[in-house]
Structures are given as structure tokens and as C-alpha cells.
Structure 1
Amino acid sequence: MVQYVANYPLVAYVPFMTVRERTWTSNGAEKSAWIADYVDQHGKRHIKTFRTKKEAEAYDSKTHVEVLGRIHVPDANTATVAEAGKLWLADCSSALERSTVAQYGQHLNLHIVPFLGKKRLNEITVPTVRHFLDRLKAEGRSDAMVRAVRVSFGSILSDAQERGLVIRNAVKDMGRAKGRTRAAARHHERVEVGIDIPTTTEIKAILKAATGKARIFIMTAIMTGMRASELRGLRWSDIDFKKAEITIRQRADAYQDIGSPKSAKGRRVIPLPSDLVKALQNWKLNCPVSSLGLVFPTGTGAIEYHGNIIKRWYHPPQIEAGVVDADGNAKYSGLHALRHFYASWCINRSEDGGLGLPAKVVQDRMGHGSITMTLDVYSHLFERGDDGSAMDNAASAFFD
């Protein structure tokens, strides 16, 4: 019986395929090759040549399944890695920040195209990806860079899948070897107080040495945990002095453009301690005025450059306070150390000078996309809840 769907007969599609040997004479010598001859799901005939019968039959078997599933992509319809990369990057440009797109462009043009750019997408197999990543590492790329390039390459292949340019994503097929994942976890260094996170003593010394705009900026950073881009884009209209809170609505990117927060979770409300409220109110009286209404602008009211904040506001107070490395330079080079400090302050117990907040609240304050991110970075700072006295009390019940 023939079944009907929407008045059209539903007939099973049976692809035409055959493997045969082809012989010919060239310069008086007889030569041969094996051919996979098939018709795809669109009724178009294709011929692909192989050196051996085994290779032709393997291709025939794989293609047979793909054609039956109506997902086969003939060689003529696919693209090179370089071409697919351009399509992917163009798509990213319409949805992501310029700084992110620029970073992806570096992954593509500096690390992917030089090695794989001329290969067609259907030539990218799991062994190909494995060899590519090994070669990146062998030529001096850091582990972090290799991981980042791998993610970008996987995104290129996913984008190509959606466009119908390739069937498989070899990066996803490769997955993560458990052994490598465990090894990487063993060598992952957690943020540490005194190394990545300034100590309370160091923060006090830095604040004492800082003056003027620099002091207010550092106070705001350590008492709100805002990202550097959020601090640079902070407006007076985002501060509610009556409620003592800041609402993160925008940020200034690396190109001096104002845009939305880093993610949906980046839009958040952060409560302010009274000392910071008073300091900001006093600073507002002297802050340069401009149409942007920024809290920490340049002298003319424009967006302050990140590099200027580091060199003029952040490093000098550290050096003045003696918070330096072995060479006499500022111990904490990046502003992210102040964000780490805020996270540790939120997490630490009240008896240790902290707020003792639960992980979910810390995630919201930090604007992390997921609780996993918060715990991955800061889980070791939370109270363990397995101190010896509690264990002794619980165990004593067994011996009454």
C-alpha cells in the first residue's frame, strides 16, 4: 500500500550506488582506479575516484547512509576551511562585540588558516584535528591559546553544518579525552590570596597611598567587584544614592565604544557601603561634566582609556604603598585583582572580615553567567563546613 502525506505519495528513497574498477592506457601503460558512482538525494549523479577498492567501498557505505538520511554533501558543494571561516566571522560580526570578533579573527587568520585553510571541510577528520592541535602546541602556542583556537575551529564547523557545507563536526566528534581533562584539572591553579587576590592589609595600604580620582576609582572597584569595562562606562544616572546601589546597564569596550554589559547576567544591581556612597557624592562635585555623564571620565569628560587607568591610577598607589614584586613594579598588574578581592570579601566569613554570602548571591553580585563559573574560580574560598569540632560532636553520638 502507498501511503500519502499532504496528497503526495510517500515513497522510500533508494539511492543508486555502485563501486567499479576503471582502467585506461596512458603513454602505453595500463592504469586502473576504483570509482564510487552514485546519485545523491537530489537526483544528481557524482563520481569519486579512489586508489584502492577498500577506500571506494568505505566511501560508498558512508555515502549510502548519508544519502538515505538526505544529509549528504557532495565535494563540489562543500568549501575550504578558509572560506567557511570567513562566513563564520561575518556572522559573528553581526552579533558580537568588536573586541571579541577581532580575537576570533586572530584565531582564524594566525592559527587556523595557515595550517588548514586550503583543506576542504569534508577532509577534516578527528585525526586531522588532533594533528592540528598537536602541531599548534609543538610550535609554541600556549595551552590556553590551543584551547581557544580549538573552540573557534569547532564553531566554524558548527556554522558550516548549519549552512549545509559539511556533515560532521570533527572537533565535537573528538570530544574531550578524560585523561587529558583530569591532567589539566590537576595543573589548574586556583586564585590565591596574596598572589592573585590582594590581602586586606595590601588593600588598606593601597587606599591610603591613593588620592583624588584614583582613590575613588579603587574604592569603587574593591567594594563593587565591577569589571574594568563597567567602571569605565559607569554613569552618575546608574547610581542611586538614596537606595545606596549601582545598576549595571552599560560598559565601555576596548575601542572606546559604549555598549551593553558582557552578558544578560551582567545587568545587575550592586549594593554600596555607606563609606563608598559618601566618597562618590563628594567626587561628583569635582567630576568633569560631559554629555556622557560618566563617573570616571577623562579631564574633558570622555571615556578614559584602560591603559591610562592602569598607569596613572592603579600602579602608582601600589608602588607608593610598597605593594610591589621583586623588581619593584606594581605587584598586581591588572584590575581584575580588585574584582577577585571583592569576590573573596563577599565569600569570607564575617568573623574573618567578610560578608559570608552564599554562592548564588556571589554569582549575582559578580555578574557571572552561571554558578559553575563562580564555583570553578572561588569554591575553595567558601567555608568548608567540616571543621574538626563539628566532626567530633557528630562522632561522639556513636560512643554514648
Structure 2
Amino acid sequence: MATITKRRWKTSKGEPREAWVLAYTDAQGKRHKEQHDLKRSAEARRIEVEGQVRTGTYRAEANTVTVEDAVKDYLKHLKTRNERGEHVTKHYLKTTEAQLYNYVAPQPGRPVEFSGGIGTVKLSQCTAKVVGDFRDRLRDAGVGVVTARRILGSLSRALKHAVDNDYLAINPAAGIRVTGKRGEGEKKVELPAKADVAAVIAGAKGGMAVRIRLSASAGLRASELYALRWRHVSFNGGELSVEGRVDAYGNLDTTKSTAGVRQVPLSSAMLADLRAWKDQAKKADADDLIFPNSKGGYMSHNNAVKREFRPLLAAVKAKAKEDGRKFKPFNWHALRHFAISLWIESGLQPKTVQTFAGHSSLAVTMSRYGKLFPSDDHKKAMDAISSSIFGGAADGAQMAHETL
């Protein structure tokens, strides 16, 4: 049982002071004392502690360890895993660090200024309501649904790490959801026009031209494109094997999901392009990269976009304006959307599109590209079903009459 006693004393200047001391024993028989300025604060803490001890969820460290401490411990854990090569990429580490240090436990000097963090909150006080209020402050500050979900996800993983290390008994962020208005947060797929893609391909030269054509036909992510080696191209089988990707820091990693490992058929024209590109390559052995940088290593996508792709788009736009034509620039990832839209337009089934795109599930494919699949004539389908059952309108009416 917990007890509360009043303590009185005088300061060095002789001024009277008083506080309320909460004393309690945890489940392991260890005695604890906490001092509170107000009696109601001590009473609230007593009720909380007794409940935690009774249910076995009490953790002594939770009253001293803050959310910021838990965040730093989790990031240290991720850094260690990254250094060991245990499926934590540098990109993931930096992204998680940004989410936690910009919003959850804001640090000075960060690029984002957010005053609604919960870094100073003790783990013992970090309840579902505290996390829910934090979520609401994120949304009130203009943070979008998708970003808010990612931030809450990183917070939840940090708190789970605290649970695993016995600093906390229950993860208060586990059940918190981020909702928005209808349609908010949905990934809108913007498709470039065929004429615009054709204009860009026509204006591209050398390796940039091959990379654009391959991305626009095989639906590759940029990270997958730069990880390709010549052994991944089967000229006899007419297909491309996707087995990995390169992150923003030039590190080889597994595909985005297990479904990302896949084989994508290539057209005869695309195979001819790759054959010609291979014939002029300085190194074209099986383990050599198809699109290496000048030193033979992984190409930087950011550099390629900045130095080649954007100037190409600008040149194509200027030429279109000169010729009196319209041209709408697009980003590199739109080439992947373009390829998938062509597959759908050609009549490939949703499951096949999912496989070739490397989506983790059919639901992902349909949520992003479902509107592009041709819709059935539902009335026509119902008429056909009715005809097969009733044999026509007259027979149907007669059958209905006989059953009365």
C-alpha cells in the first residue's frame, strides 16, 4: 500500500516550506519515495502507482526517464544496427531521426520548428491521451495525414523499444490513429501525357535516353534502376530481374518489399537498346553495373536529376514553346506511373500489374491505379445473368407468375 505524509521544514533563510511525500513498495518489494508540492498531485500519483503495481505494469525507471531519453536510446539502437548491416539503412536512420528530432522531441538547430513535442514528458506520464494530444497538435500545425502517420509510427517504435528494455510496460502510442478528411492523404497518381514523354525521350541522349526508356517501359523505381547489373538482363529470355536497390547514400539494400524482387518482361525494342548500350560500355561483365557513375560505382539519382534530367525538361519545354506546342514537365517517378498505366491500357490483369510493379499487395495497386482499369458495363452484365437464369424477359415474367 502507498502512504502520503506531510513534511515541513525551514529554508536556510528561515522561511517555512512543506511538501507531500508519497511512499510505496513495488512488486519486487523495493521501497520508493516521491515528493510532491501539492497533496492532490500526490493523491493522483498514489492512485496511478497502486494501479500499476496491482496490474504488474509499474516500472520504476518510467518516473525518471523522459520520452526524449527513450528517443535517443532508440536512435542509438538503430545506429548500431546500421553499423552492423542489420537491415537498417542510413536513409531510414536519417529519416527516423528527422521525424523524432523535428517533432517528437524537438532539438535546437533543426530545420523544422515545432513547439508541440512531448520530449520532456516522463514515460510514467506518457499515456494514450498524451500521445493523442500530440497527434492533434501535429495536425493543427499543418502536418499532413501521411507525414503525421509516419511520425506517430516512429514514436510508436521508439516506445516499443522502451518497453523491450523494461523502461515502460505498455506502448501508449500503439493504438493511436491519424485520420483526415475524405481523400486526404491519398496518393494521387499524376500521369505524364504520351506526347510529353515522347518529346523527352526524343531529346535525351546517351545513357539518359536509355534510362528514361527503361524506366518508362519496365516501371522501375530510380533506386532499383541504379542497382541493375548486366546479369539482371536476360537477352534470350527477354526479361529483367529486379533484386535490390541503392539508397540515397549509395548503399545497396534489399527491395522495398519482398514483392519487389521480380522479373519484368522487356520489349524487343528495349532489349535492342540495352544490347547497343552494352556494346559501347567500358565494362560489361555480368557483375558490372548497367548505369555506373564515372568511377564505376553507383550513380547518384539526385545528381542525375539535377545535372541531366531537369536541364533536359527545360530544353524540351523551350523547344515546345518555340514550336507553339504545349508541354507539361513531370518528375522522374512519373515514368514509373507511366509504365504501369501502359500495362493497364494494354489489358494486363490487376494481379499481373501488381507483380510487374513489385507492389507489396494487390490493394496497393488498386488504391493507386484502380481508376485506370477499364470498368465493366454492370447493367449489361446483370442482363446477361438474368437471361441465363430466366431465358428472357417473357420467360422471367412467367416464372415469377408461377411462383406466386
> What's the counterpart of residue 112 of structure 2?
none
User: CA–CA distance in 2 between the matches of 1:121 and 1:323?
Assistant: 58
Larger displacement relative to structure 2 (382-391 or 220-229): 382-391
Task: Please give the secondary structure, in 2, of the residue aligned with 1:48.
Answer: strand
Report 1:202-241 matches (<5 A): 202-241=196-235
Counterparts in 2 of 1:159 and 1:254: CA distance versus 1, 3 Å:
same
Matched, 1:20 2:14: no
User: CA–CA distance in 2 between the matches of 1:24 and 1:92?
Assistant: 47
Larger displacement relative to structure 2 (133-142 or 225-234): 133-142
Counterparts in 2 of 1:332 and 1:19: CA distance versus 1, 3 Å:
farther
> What's the counterpart of residue 100 of structure 1?
92
Structure 2 residue aligned with 1:45, among 9, 28, 31?
31
Matched, 1:70 2:56: yes
Matched, 1:176 2:177: yes
Gaps of 5+ in 2: 82-86, 107-116, 395-404
User: CA–CA distance in 1 between the matches of 2:380 and 2:226?
Assistant: 47
User: CA–CA distance in 2 between the matches of 1:299 and 1:67?
Assistant: 64
CA contact (8 A) 1:232 1:252 kept: yes
Task: Please give the secondary structure, in 1, of the residue aligned with 2:173.
Answer: helix
CA contact (8 A) 2:57 2:170 kept: no
> What's the counterpart of residue 356 of structure 2?
365
Counterparts in 2 of 1:171 and 1:112: CA distance versus 1, 3 Å:
same
Specify the code of the residue in structure 1 equivalent to 2:174.
Answer: K
> What's the counterpart of residue 304 of structure 2?
309
User: CA–CA distance in 2 between the matches of 1:164 and 1:288?
Assistant: 56
> What's the counterpart of residue 271 of structure 2?
277
User: CA–CA distance in 1 between the matches of 2:335 and 2:45?
Assistant: 57
> What's the counterpart of residue 146 of structure 1?
148
Larger displacement relative to structure 2 (108-117 or 338-347): 108-117
CA contact (8 A) 1:191 1:197 kept: no
Task: Please give the secondary structure, in 2, of the residue aligned with 1:20.
Answer: strand
CA contact (8 A) 1:78 1:166 kept: no
TM-score scaled by structure 1?
0.80
Specify the code of the residue in structure 2 equivalent to 1:310.
Answer: V
Query: Percentage identity across aligned positions?
Result: 28
Counterparts in 2 of 1:109 and 1:329: CA distance versus 1, 3 Å:
farther
Cα deviation, residue 285, structure 1: 0.6
Q: CA RMSD in A?
A: 3.2
CA contact (8 A) 2:99 2:154 kept: yes
Cα deviation, residue 62, structure 1: 3.8
Task: Please give the secondary structure, in 2, of the residue aligned with 1:170.
Answer: coil
Specify the code of the residue in structure 2 equivalent to 1:273.
Answer: S
CA contact (8 A) 2:223 2:245 kept: yes
Number of residue pairs matched by the alignment: 368
Specify the code of the residue in structure 2 equivalent to 1:297.
Answer: P
Cα deviation, residue 50, structure 1: 4.5
Structure 2 residue aligned with 1:262, among 238, 256, 260?
256
Cα deviation, residue 297, structure 1: 1.8
Counterparts in 2 of 1:68 and 1:130: CA distance versus 1, 3 Å:
closer
Cα deviation, residue 309, structure 1: 2.5
Report 1:318-397 matches (<5 A): 318-322=313-317, 331-348=328-345, 354-358=346-350, 360-391=351-382, 393=384
User: CA–CA distance in 1 between the matches of 2:127 and 2:320?
Assistant: 47
Cα deviation, residue 223, structure 1: 1.3
Counterparts in 2 of 1:77 and 1:228: CA distance versus 1, 3 Å:
same
Cα deviation, residue 172, structure 1: 2.3
> What's the counterpart of residue 183 of structure 2?
186
Specify the code of the residue in structure 1 equivalent to 2:129.
Answer: P
Structure 1 residue aligned with 2:130, among 116, 128, 131?
128
Structure 1 residue aligned with 2:119, among 117, 120, 131?
117
> What's the counterpart of residue 110 of structure 2?
none
Cα deviation, residue 110, structure 1: 2.3
Specify the code of the residue in structure 1 equivalent to 2:250.
Answer: Q
Gaps of 5+ in 1: 1-16, 349-353
TM-score scaled by structure 2?
0.79
Task: Please give the secondary structure, in 2, of the residue aligned with 1:270.
Answer: strand
Map Cα deviations across residues 304-350 of structure 1 (whole Å, 9 max, x no partner).
Answer: 22123224543455445449999x998444321011112222223xx
Map Cα deviations across residues 69-126 of structure 1 (whole Å, 9 max, x no partner).
Answer: 4331024675222221122112223131101101111122222222333332222223
User: CA–CA distance in 1 between the matches of 2:164 and 2:98?
Assistant: 23
Cα deviation, residue 147, structure 1: 2.9
User: CA–CA distance in 1 between the matches of 2:258 and 2:125?
Assistant: 38
Cα deviation, residue 64, structure 1: 3.2
Task: Please give the secondary structure, in 2, of the residue aligned with 1:340.
Answer: helix
Map Cα deviations across residues 3-44 of structure 1 (whole Å, 9 max, x no partner).
Answer: xxxxxxxxxxxxxx13334242545757453x4432112110
Counterparts in 2 of 1:239 and 1:102: CA distance versus 1, 3 Å:
same
Specify the code of the residue in structure 1 equivalent to 2:373.
Answer: F
CA contact (8 A) 2:218 2:266 kept: yes
